[in-house]
Chain A
Amino acid sequence: MAQQSKEKFLVLDLLQLDVRENDALDLKCIGGRPGLIREISVTEINRPGLELGGFYENFAHQRIQILGRGENAFLQKLAKEKRRTELEKLFTYTIPCCVFTHSLTPTADFAEIAEKAQCPILQTDLSSSEFTMRILRVLSTIFAPKTLIHGVLVEVFGIGVLLVGDSGVGKSESALSLIERGHRLIADDVVEIRRVSGNILMGTGSQVVSHHMEIRGLGIINITHLFGVGAIRDKKQIQLVVQLEFWNAEKNYDRIGAEEATMDIQGVHVPCVTVPIKPGRNIPVIIETAARNERLKKMGYYSAREFNRNVMNWLEGESTREIFLNGK
């Protein structure tokens, strides 16, 4: 059903990354262009202060090197000859790229040596700590394990609901009904799932076909154009899995809901409900109710458990009453 995928991530990809708002990196390349094909293979970053000072033990050269005001001032202070030898030593290592923050520009010899070593020099107008935070966030998303799942991801009352089930069971049709009722579509048919910050499953659609749906009998439709921009979302955390399946008379479906079934996606256990399909069952309403119930659970209220507790209390009360009245 799902599997891992891995592609090389180049410095060029970093420059062309479509990240916006509080993730924007504002990067531009100011030198060493041939090196843009270098690969970024780790999510960490390094400030090469120690190395510029001549200390190379444990130098993490495979990381993105960030040069801020400190490193820049240090380089400016170094005598020309000394600076040249230090920089030449630094660039004997294969560095994916150097980033100058605060819109700082490297000295002429830095640019020349980096160019010769084919190491790209990038520049951003962000401060070093802000850039560090953003790049770590962006890279951790990119390097997060990714899986493709056949299903539909919709946001229902703020809960990210992943609809799964066999082809033809009515996932897309149910999702369409939900959109019509004011909920939002994230992805149809192919959901890309990334595990970020430990246990958050982020779902997005594929770039090309995002926010399009295939409805049997209609063909491919564009949800944004048909329902407006309010009916879509780019990404959403997956908080509930609804498994649709054809009604199976042999199978016992959950009648109480006190047991918490989960589905394992990339090692994260997501609450999962199995909904059997049968004529006369209004699936979108059932999905909406499941989402509402999930919200209640998040607030600490478990309908089925509370109900049972009330029943038990009542039974207990009845039995004491009996003892009191009849002396049994």
Chain B
Amino acid sequence: MIERTVTIRNRAGMHARPAALLVKTASGFASQIYLEKDNERVNGKSIMGVITLGATYNSQLVIIADGPDEAKAVDAIEKLFENRFEEE
């Protein structure tokens, strides 16, 4: 299992479009993927779940992946955060 903390860098926060992008990326991996914020953990492959976190600008999330391709999955998702979900 791998855990990595990331920060939301796009001003609009985790709205529908970034959430969809994240879920699309996460769904491409066989591993179980979770996102955690303020001790609330949701499934990283569920749009509704990711939006429910209410992640705003500069808030911190933990990506958790568990499975055969966990390292690749965490890297790919971290990259989305670094690229500000292709916004701005």
Which A residues have a C-beta under 8 Å from some C-beta of B? 2-7, 148, 150, 167-168, 188-190, 206, 208-209, 212-214, 220
Contact = CB atoms under 8 A, between A and B. Distances in A.
B2 interface: no
B49 A189 contact: yes
B48 A214 contact: yes
A5 B38 contact: yes
- The secondary-structure label for the interface of chain B is mixed
Interface residues of B, number: 16
Contacts of A212: 48
Contact of A167 (B39, B40, B46, B54): B46
A206 B52 contact: yes
22 contacts: A2-B41, A4-B39, A6-B39, A7-B38, A148-B40, A148-B41, A148-B42, A150-B42, A150-B49, A167-B27, A168-B27, A168-B45, A189-B46, A189-B52, A190-B46, A190-B48, A206-B48, A208-B54, A209-B48, A209-B52, A212-B48, A214-B48
A5 to B, nearest CB: 5
Contacts of A213: 48
Nearest to A6: B39
A190 B42 contact: yes
Contacts of B43: 150, 167, 189
Given A208-B52, A208-B54, A209-B52, A214 B42 contact: no
Contact of B45 (A2, A3, A5, A167): A167
B16 interface: yes
Nearest to B44: A167
